[in-house]
Structure 1
């Protein structure tokens, strides 16, 4: 079974006159269109050196307004009933582990078990400097934050000790609504440290952006081998596949033309197909029609 995810814009000109509250309207449209999971991106602050973006030219100037994703998800969860929520990705090391665990558990309880979270270390040094977090510790802090959150969601009281996060005999209540805690997706390439992080702690993998089918298929094979070696099954483990924007007959990005690749992503091992709305639609007055086209295209694929 393959699910449908949509990354909503939490920035940019779709919210004219700073009407960012309209992201709740987009969430309702997504839910009505049958979207399984809504995702938001994350930048706490933005420095001037966007040229350091590792995946090509960064598409936005540094003064672009970005909504904080967890607060935005809480806003959207209040006006929806079924759709799930996640991040792509939350720069987890910028947030204290105990605070993050509490925030996510609260969101999961209030949304009645609809939270997931995609975590990564980010790419911009200035965000770490502004938060007072050592840039060189980002990988270790990511691993420790994930493990600490899982400990706080599981144990009462919880104790945890690592290189960057330490606590003894503390309670983090309420626990998440979902038994076993909130599913955690880990983003990034499958280098040694990240592969170990995925095998030990993750419920799903978010491949690097702009990857192709072959890279994802190879990654799924690598994960399967690593899981087997660790005595863990890949059953139920998630893999995200991102749809590229393909032009239609009018030369403009077409969701119907782009969704033609969804079956190939599923064949490569993707368990959820992610559509980035901002690649296709930047106007609120066209959003409903875009979601209608998305729903029709998805239904025609028959991937559920």
Structure 2
């Protein structure tokens, strides 16, 4: 298979998670944090998505949940991703604004397209749209969406969003949603649409990235697993007649006690691994190690200077 890999050692564009959950869940502080992060030189700002934290969840958090602590306690306070990004868009001018990641299948494509298009216009074309399937079935039940078939539902969502962003008139008839021929005058600033990034760690998820996304929302893991999963996306892109070298990778690093990347001091070696793998975009999430918003900014300043 022929590809155009990112050169090892290329400059890394550092991104930063906006203060959205846990002790950093302070919507009023988002503008100050976003402006300061842009001033420090961060290239992107990101939000996540958490809808519900049930007392007795059916599923354990895949990032280390246990029966005693099924998900990080920080998830119990989680601000709205759209409001958070809008607040950041209003006070920044150069940083990309991304989602890592919305639980795509629980959203209506018509309402979602309206919100995402508005964000892209409000930010003058700086939005990166990120979707995943999520891991908590209670979130699906609470939003009236079946857990079974969520992968196909995400595929239909992507088809419907493409129609809403590029069709004229807009029309979509899929297994989940039907959109009657309609006029949609509000279109994204980016043409033909904002970049779409997909998360996931299964072969099916990486094949979906290669077939139809602009890139992969990856999580920190040993390099051999990163490379192995990435090869699935590259092969799928080539089979679909797409340029594998055009795909992006955004590597998320969450310093968190007990994970091997316990503190911010453990982050620079991870960045070295990312550079060696040709990964040029890294998202740093400080929610698990920062005491409050001001502390998060102090840590962010240390990291970007290291």
Q: TM-score, normalised by structure 2?
A: 0.86
Which among 240, 243, 246 is matched to residue 233 of structure 1? 243
Match of 1:219 among 213, 229, 237: 229
Residue in 2 aligned with 1:272? 281
1:302 is matched with none
* Equivalent residues, number: 288
After superposition, the Cα gap between the structure-2 partners of 1:30 and 1:166, relative to the gap in structure 1 and judged at 3 Å, is: same
Partner of 1:300: none
Residues 1:49 and 1:185: Cα distance change in structure 2 (over 3 Å): farther
Please list the CA deviations of residues 189-241 of structure 1 after superposition, one character each: whole Å capped at 9, or x if unmatched: 2423x24422332111113x452211111122222222122211123311122
Q: How big is the shift at 1:74? A: 0.6
Counterpart of 2:52? 45
Cα distance in 2 between the residues matched to 1:204 and 1:63: 26
Q: Which residue in the other structure is 1:296 paired with?
A: 305
- Residue 118 of structure 1 corresponds to 130
The DSSP-based 3-state class of the residue aligned with 1:156 is: coil
- The separation in 2 between residues aligned to 1:10 and 1:26, in whole angstroms, is 11
Distance 1:59 1:130 in 2: 18
Contact 1:8–1:39 (8 Å) recurs in 2: yes
Q: Report the equivalent of 1:198.
A: 209
Q: Show CA shifts across 1:77-114 (max 9, x none).
A: 11111111111110111110111011101110111001
Segments of structure 2 that go 5 or more residues without pairing to the other structure are: 1-10
Is the 2:210–2:244 Cα contact (8 Å) retained in structure 1? no
Residue 56 of structure 1 pairs with residue 64 of structure 2: yes
Partner deviation per Cα, 1:30-67 (whole Å, 9 max, x = no partner): 11111111111101222223452223224434982211
Confirm or deny that 1:7 pairs with 2:17. yes
Residues 1:284 and 2:293 are matched in the alignment: yes
The DSSP-based 3-state class of the residue aligned with 1:81 is coil
- What is the match of residue 134 of structure 1? 146
Evaluate the alpha carbon distance shift between residue 73 and residue 274 of structure 1 in structure 2; reply closer, same or farther with a 3 A threshold.
same
Q: Secondary structure at the match of 2:246?
A: coil
Q: Distance in 1 between matches of 2:127 and 2:75?
A: 29
Say if 1:233 and 1:122 are closer, same or farther in 2 by CA, change over 3 A: same
- Cα RMSD of the aligned pairs, angstroms, is 2.3
User: Residue 153 of structure 1: CA displacement?
Assistant: 0.6
1:21 corresponds in structure 2 to 28
- Go from structure 1 to structure 2 and tell me whether the alpha carbon gap of 1:231 and 1:159 turns closer, same or farther (over 3 Å shift): same
Listed as ranges, the matches of 1:58-207 within 5 Å are 58-61=70-73, 64-192=76-204, 194-207=205-218
Q: Secondary structure at the match of 1:52?
A: coil
> Is the 1:253–1:279 Cα contact (8 Å) retained in structure 2?
no
Counterparts of 1:96 and 1:226, CA distance in 2:
27
- Could you tell me which runs of 5 or more consecutive residues in structure 1 were left unpaired when the two chains were aligned: 298-304
Secondary structure of the structure 1 residue equivalent to 2:243: coil
